[in-house]
């Protein structure tokens, strides 16, 4: 893989390669699950503790072959009996049903060993199933040890086996390293058992795609595409509409309800849940996000967020962790929300940052507002009440509270609480400097337009004007009264 990350930890639509294999094996209900680790052992152990804490990692310090690996695994379960299933760690498309069918076939045949095989279009690089004249398994040959006739065989070893534990232990003790790689091949167990008169069998997978592994990133990408298609087909057959399956990527851990619609260029990842009738996309990424019924998320990115029933998000919104939108709330264009609750029917339509805030029901937040939540050391919270109307270009310097039904004037920096029903105004009074353009920008198109419109007073255009210094540096005056309707927010 040419990676610092062990191959089995490379991700594939919601799980690692190893995670997919463990998921396929889990329904067997095995008494013990043993994972042989080697390269990147500490990383693999850590991952196992997170996704399969009941699995036992066993270290193969030197990679001396697959037979050696299985022998080490069995040493970790010395009292293990019955059927032992061995699965390669890089077959993420394997289905539980296929593993179960292998075990059933093995036990019904009372075989000492059974190999899962598959008929593939191109067997290059894979071990071949060699049968005798009666069609029974004669031996399994690795490609590098195969002759020209054997290499022409398209029935391959999938690297998945069922063994009788007692007979497997005996055969592993007889393995040699007399092969091209100088390793203990697990596949040689079949030849040893057959020579000893023990029954061995082949179980052929119905779909060879399930047996595909990967040895580089090109093959990993191919598996990702195959898994995407499998996942997408399954969801469409349950009543979910995927408008462009080729550009829709859904993790195996995602849940969608009937009549959800997923538009093109959409990624649904992690523990994301999408409710019935919701519209997701185009151009959306949802990670660990819950979207309620009939909600819509368009051209947006969300991580660890909750979008209530009938709520709308986007386009170009960013919902960060713990962003919570109640029923029919709205987060619009170029709005970012973090660790905040937005009440039912409330709107944050555009160009706003909402961080560490609680917004009540049926409230409107004006455009270009900022919830100033960080003082350089600690985060603080803003509370906006129900049915409030905050002005455009407001800053709420937390901790601060705006009461129910209150208004704030456009352009205000709110540093003190605004009581319920009050108008909060915190800005400088506007002053018009008559004749300034003609005086300070003579000869410009603006000055000529001003004179044509009659804005200048008198021929000189400076009557009643303030001095240059006052015009440019006049002291601000704070408005102390109420504000008109024009001071409130856009919607």
Residue % of the chain over a pLDDT of 90: 88
Residue 235 domain-assigned?
no
Domain identity same for 101 and 178: yes
Average pLDDT of the chain is 92
Looking at residue 355, its pLDDT comes to: 98
Residue 228 domain-assigned?
no
DSSP per residue, 266-313: EEEETT-EE-TT-EE-SSEEEES-EE-TT-EE-S-EEES-EE-TT-EE
Number of domains in the chain: 3
For residues 200 and 349, give the distance between their C-alpha atoms in angstroms, rounded to a whole number: 68
- The verdict on whether 350 is a catalytic residue reads yes
Mean pLDDT of 152-177: 96
Domain identity same for 269 and 338: yes
- At residue 334, the 3 state secondary structure works out as strand
For residues 436 and 455, give the distance between their C-alpha atoms in angstroms, rounded to a whole number: 10
Helix crossing, 17-25 with 41-51: angle to 10°?
50
- Cα 398 from chain centre: 32
- pLDDT tens, position by position, 189-208: 999 999 999 999 999 999 99
Domain identity same for 273 and 397: yes
Mean pLDDT of 366-377: 97
Domain identity same for 300 and 448: no
| Cβ proximity of 388 and 406 under 8 Å | yes
Looking at residue 394, its pLDDT comes to: 98
Of the listed 68, 350, 380, 387, which one is catalytic?
350
Looking at residue 487, its pLDDT comes to: 46
Domain identity same for 33 and 127: yes
Burial of 310 (0-12, 13-18, 19+ CB in 10 A): buried
Domain identity same for 377 and 353: yes
Q: What is this structure's pTM?
A: 0.89
The residue range of the domain holding 159 is 7-211
- Please give the span between the terminal C-alpha atoms of the chain, in angstroms, as a whole number: 52
Question: pLDDT confidence of 485, banded at 50, 70, 90?
Answer: very low
Residue 389 domain-assigned?
yes
Mean pLDDT of 132-148: 92
Question: pLDDT confidence of 395, banded at 50, 70, 90?
Answer: very high
Sign of CA pseudo-dihedral 160, 165, 169, 175: negative
Mean pLDDT of 111-126: 96
Can you read off the two tokens belonging to residue 372? 């100033």
Residue 232 domain-assigned?
no
Peptide bond into 282 cis (omega under 30): yes
Beta partners for residue 319, in sequence order: 302, 337
Question: pLDDT confidence of 486, banded at 50, 70, 90?
Answer: very low
Domain identity same for 449 and 362: no
The yes-or-no verdict on residue 92 having pLDDT over 60 is yes
Domain identity same for 135 and 268: no
The yes-or-no verdict on residue 312 having pLDDT over 80 is yes
């Amino acid at each position: 893989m040419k990676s610092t990350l062990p191959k089995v930890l490379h991700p594939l639509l919601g799980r690692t390669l190893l995670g997919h294999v463990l998921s396929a094996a889990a329904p067997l209900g095995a008494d013990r699950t043993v994972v042989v680790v080697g390269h990147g052992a500490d990383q693999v152990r850590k991952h196992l503790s997170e996704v399969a804490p009941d699995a036992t990692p066993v270290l193969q310090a030197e990679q001396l072959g697959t037979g050696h690996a299985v022998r080490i695994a069995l040493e970790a379960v010395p009292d293990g009996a019955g059927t032992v299933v061995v699965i390669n760690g890089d077959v993420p498309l394997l289905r539980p049903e296929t593993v179960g069918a292998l075990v059933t076939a093995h036990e019904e045949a009372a075989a000492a060993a059974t190999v899962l095989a598959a008929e593939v279009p191109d067997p290059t690089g894979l071990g071949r199933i060699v049968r005798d004249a009666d069609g029974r398994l004669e031996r399994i040959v690795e490609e590098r040890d195969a002759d020209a006739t054997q290499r022409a065989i398209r029935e391959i070893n999938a690297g998945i086996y069922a063994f009788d534990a007692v007979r497997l232990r005996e055969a592993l003790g007889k393995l040699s390293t007399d092969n091209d790689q100088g390793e203990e091949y697990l596949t040689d167990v079949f030849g040893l058992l057959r020579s000893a008169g023990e029954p061995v069998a082949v179980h052929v997978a119905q779909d060879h795609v399930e047996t595909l592994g990967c040895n580089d990133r090109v093959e990993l990408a191919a598996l990702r595409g195959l898994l995407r298609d499998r996942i997408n087909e399954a969801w469409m057959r349950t009543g979910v509409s995927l408008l462009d399956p080729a550009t829709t990527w859904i993790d195996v851990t995602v849940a969608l309800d009937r009549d959800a619609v997923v538009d093109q260029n959409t990624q649904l990842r992690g523990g994301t849940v999408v409710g019935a009738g919701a519209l997701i996309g185009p151009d959306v990424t949802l990670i660990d996000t819950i979207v309620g019924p009939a909600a819509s998320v368009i051209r947006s990115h969300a991580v660890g967020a909750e979008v209530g029933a009938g709520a709308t998000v986007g386009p170009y919104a960013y919902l960060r962790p713990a962003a919570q939108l109640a029923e029919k709330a709205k987060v619009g264009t170029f709005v970012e929300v973090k660790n905040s609750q937005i009440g039912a029917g409330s709107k944050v339509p555009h160009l706003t940052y909402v961080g560490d805030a609680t917004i009540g029901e049926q409230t409107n937040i004006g455009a270009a507002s900022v919830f100033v939540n960080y003082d350089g050391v600690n985060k603080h919270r803003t509370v906006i009440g129900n049915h409030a109307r905050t002005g455009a270009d407001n800053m709420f310097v937390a901790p601060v509270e705006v009461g129910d039904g209150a208004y704030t004037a456009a352009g205000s920096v709110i540093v003190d609480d605004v009581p319920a029903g009050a108008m909060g105004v915190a800005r400088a009074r506007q002053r018009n400097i008559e004749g300034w353009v003609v005086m300070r920008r003579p000869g410009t198109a603006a000055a000529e337009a001003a004179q044509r419109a009659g804005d200048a007073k008198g021929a000189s255009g400076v009557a009643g004007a303030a001095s240059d210094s006052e015009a440019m540096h006049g002291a601000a005056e704070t408005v102390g009264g109420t504000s008109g309707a024009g001071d409130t927010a856009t919607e």
